[in-house]
A and B are shown apart, each in its own frame.
Chain A
Amino acid sequence: MQINFAGREIGLKLVYYGPALSGKTSNLRSLHQLTSERSRGRLMTLETKDDRTLFFDMLPLTLRAEGEERASGGPPGMTLRIKIFTVPGQVLHSSTRRLVLQGADGVAFIADSQISETEHNAASFLDLRNNLKELGLAIKGLPLVIQFNKRDLDHVRSDAEIDALASRGREPVFKASAVRGDGVIETFFGLLHLAWTQLDREHQLAKMLGIRQEALLPMAARQLGLSKDVSVLLSSCVGGRLERRPQVSS
């Protein structure tokens, strides 16, 4: 994260990780389509000829957070600049993955639901763990959500299987079909929630900037032009722990 108190800006870096062709770029494309033009920037994709990500894709989202009066007396609020990156999934781009991963405030692991991809999912996760280790980070302390993508395909792991797997893990799990736009916003909000919670804890953002933790996500949803309530978005996750979820509004 980059905090610029003087410029009242916070830069947040979220990374979509996962095996090759699991749908990381599709997630970003859908996010780009589903969010309002006012808050999103251009989707930057650096692709090779065969439609695979060469270095990374990047979607910038810029949100204006109106904060409350602070004890310190400075003006409340700030600009939240979120940059969402995807990593290249192919095995050979390990060094690029590590570069993109550097300084990440949170990771969404995009897994392929197809049963045949089980090994690739696991291998990519180990690669993530390894790369974090090389960067001197522990996966344990990193805000992490898992998305089982491609729910629309045949021969995928069943919902019941995913629920059972998710219930055993620490990470919140979302089911998605990125090409259809299902579960994409939910995954993003799950990750944003975890990342913000952690940063708030580490940097006292509520105190320093007057942004209450519970207020951030609804504000983000509003500015991104989403119709769903944040609590509804977050409640679509299975398993894991989304600490301090906002109360479901009646």
Chain B
Amino acid sequence: MSAAPPDVRLQDVILDARIRLEDLVDPQGLNELCKTFVALFGIPVRIYSIDGSLLVDSASENELCAYVNASADGRSACAAVVGGAKSREPGEAGDISHPCFTGAVYRIIALDYDGRRVGRLIIGPFVPSNVSGVPASLLAIHSSIDKARAQDLLDKMPRAKSQTVTRIAGHLKSALDLLLFSGHKAFVTSQMHLASVRESYRELEEKNARLQEAFDRLKELDRLKSSFLATVSHELRTPLTSIIGYSEMLSEGLAGDLKAEQLEFVRTIHEKGGQLLSLIVGLLDLGKLESGTMRMKLQIIGVGSVLREVVSTLTPAARKRGVKLSLDVAPGVADVRADSERLRQVFLNLVENAIKFTPADGEVALSARMAPPTDGASQTEDEGIALLAPTREQVEVHVADTGIGIPVRERIKVFDAFYQVDSSSTREYGGTGLGLSIVKRLVEGHGGTIRIQDNEPRGTVFVVTLPRPEPTMAEAPRVA
């Protein structure tokens, strides 16, 4: 997949941005900076942007200028000088003097950044140190100008050597340059940041799209697999039913008496047929559970009654193997919302397994009690926990055996379909490896969990938790 071209404007920002003084420097701050210069050196400072607009004006009219401006001729002469200073370009050298008829001068200094001109600095008016008397040009402005008064006011104007002003200007320029650089850097950083985020977002979007595509494809494959499994299982079951039925009829002598050896063979056929059928039923169940098409008839039932039924069904098998089977349902075990048939299947499977893997004289103990939730949710963070905690208790059923146990590292895998801890156990103990994966899915289908613990001193405990039905307003008892 080819990438969309990254943001083109970023290129301009980092490569060829026309830096504008007014964009990068805060005008208020710049004004304050210039005021400190005026306070230090007593010479007015103005800053113009490259397009000629005034950004900072720290100048206030001095007395000589006010005196000159009192006459109309003086005003127009002054305006001509100031206008000239404003519009004069500091040239290639970047530093020129602009004289005033009063004998004072303006210094016009270029502000450059990144090799380009960004504005102008006008320092003045100030009186150069070599000017002492009132120049003739000042007296010529108007007949009303009094020489003594003019001399008096000229002496009050800021006075500076040309080199001093050059140094002051250099200092102000480097302070401004630093401000511009800092502003520029922050600007570039923010633009780069934005562009990076956009680019990362674009990359993630692409990856997401690819993942979604793969996910959709897998989901479709999974659906096909489940449907194939269901079809094949169904097709297998039909002839198998005939095999089981006919072998049963044979073994019951419906087609005449059989010799002992023949009877044994036919019973083996019948028994293995039954095993095959339960495997196929298991596969069908698994397919339904995986595809989410398993229908559960949920109703409020007591776990105790299901467990009692399981125990009574399996007591003969346990007795046959010399295994003690016990049941202990604690008082106060709440009802659960479950499909009783499926729940029975869960515990039949677990208890059957436990009996199978427990040697003679061993014990399989079933117990049920209420327990706090085990989902890891922090109880202190939950709001209203004082009210909700009691309702979040769940029913916990333990199926404990004293059998061979399951190593810790195998405890998650045993719930995978077709997995057996030790493949040799399939031959020794029989089974398809489907049971526990079905059990897990059935338990989860009820909103519950299943986990494995050690049984001291030996054996395994399967712990099944089933949630209590959530209380609803309708079901909560009303206080009259």
| Residues of A that sit less than 8 Å from B by CB | 2, 11, 13, 41-42, 44, 46, 55-56, 58, 60, 62, 79, 81, 83, 85, 95-96, 98-100, 102-103, 134-136
Contact = CB atoms under 8 A, between A and B. Distances in A.
B115 A95 contact: no
A99 B4 CA distance: 12
B329 interface: no
B434 to A, nearest CB: 44
Interface in B1-42: 2-3, 5-7, 10-11, 14-16
Contacts of B195: 99
B200 interface: yes
Contacts of B15: 2, 11, 13, 83, 103
B188 interface: yes
B203 A62 contact: no
A83 B10 CA distance: 14
Interface of B: 2-3, 5-7, 10-11, 14-16, 114-115, 181, 184-185, 188-189, 192-193, 195-196, 199-200, 203
Contacts of B196: 55, 95-96, 99
Nearest to A92: B200
Nearest to A58: B14
Nearest to A39: B115
Contact of B199 (A41, A56, A95): A95
A128 B192 CA distance: 19
B16 A98 contact: no
Contact of A103 (B3, B11, B188, B189): B11
A42 B10 contact: no
A95 B192 contact: no
Contacts of B10: 99, 102
B203 A95 contact: yes
A55 B193 contact: yes
A42 B19 CA distance: 14
Nearest to A64: B115
Closest 10 CB pairs of A and B: A62-B115, A95-B199, A55-B192, A134-B3, A95-B200, A96-B196, A11-B16, A103-B11, A42-B181, A2-B16
A199 to B, nearest CB: 15
Contacts of B185: 44, 46
B191 to A, nearest CB: 10
Contact of B6 (A2, A42, A60, A102): A102
Contacts of B16: 2, 11, 81
Contact of A98 (B6, B181, B188, B192): B6
20 contacts: A2-B16, A44-B181, A44-B184, A44-B188, A46-B185, A55-B192, A55-B193, A58-B14, A60-B115, A62-B115, A81-B16, A95-B203, A96-B199, A99-B6, A99-B192, A99-B195, A103-B11, A103-B15, A134-B3, A135-B6
Contacts of B2: 134, 136
Residue among B7, B184, B195 with the highest chain A CB neighbour number at 10 A: B195
A167 B71 CA distance: 84
A195 B10 CA distance: 22
A55 B199 contact: no
Contact of A79 (B5, B11, B115, B189): B115
B178 to A, nearest CB: 9
Contacts of B181: 42, 44
A100 B199 CA distance: 12
A102 B189 contact: no
B43 to A, nearest CB: 27
A13 B12 CA distance: 12
A79 B117 CA distance: 13
A18 B195 CA distance: 21
Residue among A13, A44, A83, A95 with the highest chain B CB neighbour number at 10 A: A95
Contacts of B188: 44, 46, 58
B189 A55 contact: yes
A56 B193 CA distance: 11
A62 B199 CA distance: 30
A198 B326 CA distance: 89
B12 to A, nearest CB: 9
A230 to B, nearest CB: 22
